[in-house]
Structure 1
Amino acid sequence: MSRKKTKTYAYNYEQYEEQGKGPKDIIGDILADKDFTDLTELVIGCWGNPWEENCQEVINGIVANADRFSHIEKLFLGDMDFEECEVSWIMQGDYSLLWASMPQLKELTIKGSMDLELGEIRHEGLESLTIICGGLPKSVMKSIQKADLPNLKKLLLYIGIEDYGFDGDEGAVKELLEKSDFPNLDYLGIVDSEMQDELTKIVLASKYAGQVSVLDLSLGTLTDKGGALLLEKIPTYPNIKKLDIHYHYLSKEMTDKLEGLPIEVDASDANEEDAYDGEIYRYAMLTE
């Protein structure tokens, strides 16, 4: 029998309201599913009431049944769209015990940052860590900064904004990049920020700029100020083969110049700034 790659387990609001389904039930339903043993990727979506209950029971259930989850190499916890739950309302959990219980795990994606704790991160095999949120807490950044992930190849962090969980500043991102140690990192994404120009400067001055082949600065408020920095610095980093800046506030002229770089450039989804009462407003893609 060929192994199925992925399957999503989730409850909709009707299942929550009418059947009482919630995070306490999802692990049992997964383990009872005849398809489960053939999976390598597990996606857990809405657990019925993610704005009222966090997913700690889901995490705890995986840890408690670690032997039965030993074939899962990719885990996505919180895969839901805004109609199910706004990203800023998703209540996450504490992943401290997950690292040791899933030594086979290669990819972890987390959506939502409310109640999110990563604890002390030590994992020999993890190759990809993605956190999708409307605001990334400093405590989470600190855990990543101190993480022991010798084989991490991809790090993608949605920075977000203060109103929805980001309680740091550009200095916190700079410290993360300076003090972390990911010798095999090949993809760096610092995205979805209202200070994307400032973060672009920090990323381009970091040690990882001379290491990665993919640089992702998308989904934020990148303007011609940041674009000019990219135009100047990218040619000095021959290791960078792809630049992702889709969803931006660049002028057509700057976009054309960046797309003329001798690398793969995604500069799609241009946005226009709003002007109101003499003020200019630009917005990151994912916040609330």
Structure 2
Amino acid sequence: MAIGKHIEEFHGLPVFDFFPEEEPEQDRELPAPGAAAWRVGLDYDAEESFEERWTAFLDAVECSEVRAVVIGPWWAEDYEPLTEALAAIVRSAGRLPALRALFIGDVTYEECEISWLQMTDVTPVLESFPQLEELVVRGASGDYDGKSRLALRPVRHDHLRALRFEAGGLPGEVVRAVGECELPALERLELWLGLDEYGGDASISDLAPFLAGARFPALRHLGLENSEIQDQIAEAVSNAPVVAQLERLSLALGTLTDEGAIALLAGQPLTHLKSLDLHHHFLSEELQQRLRDTLGAAGVDLDLSKQKEPDDDWRYVANGE
């Protein structure tokens, strides 16, 4: 399930492409600054740098009113680390006092595979935008040289309500750093853990801060997704204290089998959940029916779509390379 489309909505706002390929900016009417999530990125044949396009965006829009920004490709031809593009964004923090949501890496597989995206330390985003409420970062492993991998340092942020890392392989040090952050307002956390082959080396023990519950008291939606150890995660979640405070739980996009589903059914009751998302799974029809009878019948919105069949016992996550 490679990512083949750009997002169309972010932070409750429609995404508006700044400098589309089809027509120059001066030939079309721009939306009100706060009425759109502004997507800024480079075309494959762009002659300008990302910093030049970013500066043009800031100069063309009343940026003091911009609430949401989506960052597309930050390179034109050869892949480049996010480092310089992110530095340009961070330097502009003073011009974006109303920014509440930032999506880094709205990139399709045709532009760059998710595990080829060359990243950097994204901690400066949280340090420079203290009013940010939502952060999404796509990409993590880069070219494995240690310089273009995703990184994060533990920080305190008082207003962040939603955090999502999308990766074909999320480094364990990033997972541990999230667990060490102080995020008292965090309501929604989603981690695409991915494959060890692409740098996703987080262990079950690295998930302990999320499963214990006390670290993030406002958490109501937890997604531990896109993992090759989805059964182990399901077993850990089945008796995790955090579940009692959740409204929504997602173990989707990974390699969940009957073993993981049996653990969920044998653990603590899940009937208080508003939704349980297990889509993209390897469950038998029998276990799917047991889940429907136990949880669906109790009013839980249960997503069991995209059942997969193993290929000679090989199971795959939805987003790998």
TM-score, normalization by structure 2: 0.81
How far the C-alpha of 1:172 sits from its partner, in A, is: 2.4
Query: Which residue is equivalent to 2:304?
Result: 267
Query: Which residue is equivalent to 1:45?
Result: 72
Query: Which residue is equivalent to 2:167?
Result: 133
Identity %: 32
Question: 1:51-91 CA distances to partner (integer Å, 9 max, x unpaired)?
Answer: 63111222222222212111111100011110000000111
For the residue of structure 1 that corresponds to 2:45, the secondary structure is: helix
Query: Which residue is equivalent to 1:117?
Result: 151
Question: 1:228-250 CA distances to partner (integer Å, 9 max, x unpaired)?
Answer: 2222336x245422100000001
AA aligned to 2:305 is S
Query: Which residue is equivalent to 1:66?
Result: 93
Gaps (5+ residues) in structure 1?
none
Query: Which residue is equivalent to 1:97?
Result: 124
AA aligned to 2:285 is K
Query: Which residue is equivalent to 2:234?
Result: 200
Query: Which residue is equivalent to 1:7?
Result: 38
Q: Is the 8 A contact 1:26 1:47 kept in 2?
A: no
Query: Which residue is equivalent to 2:3?
Result: none
How far the C-alpha of 1:281 sits from its partner, in A, is: 0.5
Question: 1:102-124 CA distances to partner (integer Å, 9 max, x unpaired)?
Answer: 11100000000132112122100
How far the C-alpha of 1:50 sits from its partner, in A, is: 8.6
For the residue of structure 2 that corresponds to 1:228, the secondary structure is: helix
Structure 1 residues 265 and 179: alpha-carbon distance in aligned structure 2, compared to 1, 3 A threshold:
closer
Count of equivalent residues? 279
Q: 1:240 aligns with which of 264, 267, 273?
A: 273
Query: Which residue is equivalent to 1:181?
Result: 215
Mapped to 2, the partners of 1:145 and 1:233 lie a distance apart of: 24
Q: Is the 8 A contact 1:41 1:73 kept in 2?
A: yes
Runs of 4+ in 1 over 4 A off after TM superposition: 35-38
**Which has the larger displacement, 120-129 or 166-175?**
166-175
Mapped to 1, the partners of 2:173 and 2:93 lie a distance apart of: 26
For the residue of structure 1 that corresponds to 2:122, the secondary structure is: coil
Gaps (5+ residues) in structure 2?
1-31, 142-148
For the residue of structure 1 that corresponds to 2:215, the secondary structure is: coil
Mapped to 2, the partners of 1:222 and 1:148 lie a distance apart of: 30
**Cα root mean square deviation, aligned:** 2.0
Q: Is the 8 A contact 2:225 2:254 kept in 1?
A: yes
TM-score, normalization by structure 1: 0.90
Query: Which residue is equivalent to 1:33?
Result: 60
For the residue of structure 2 that corresponds to 1:129, the secondary structure is: strand
Q: Is the 8 A contact 2:237 2:264 kept in 1?
A: no
Q: Is the 8 A contact 2:193 2:202 kept in 1?
A: no
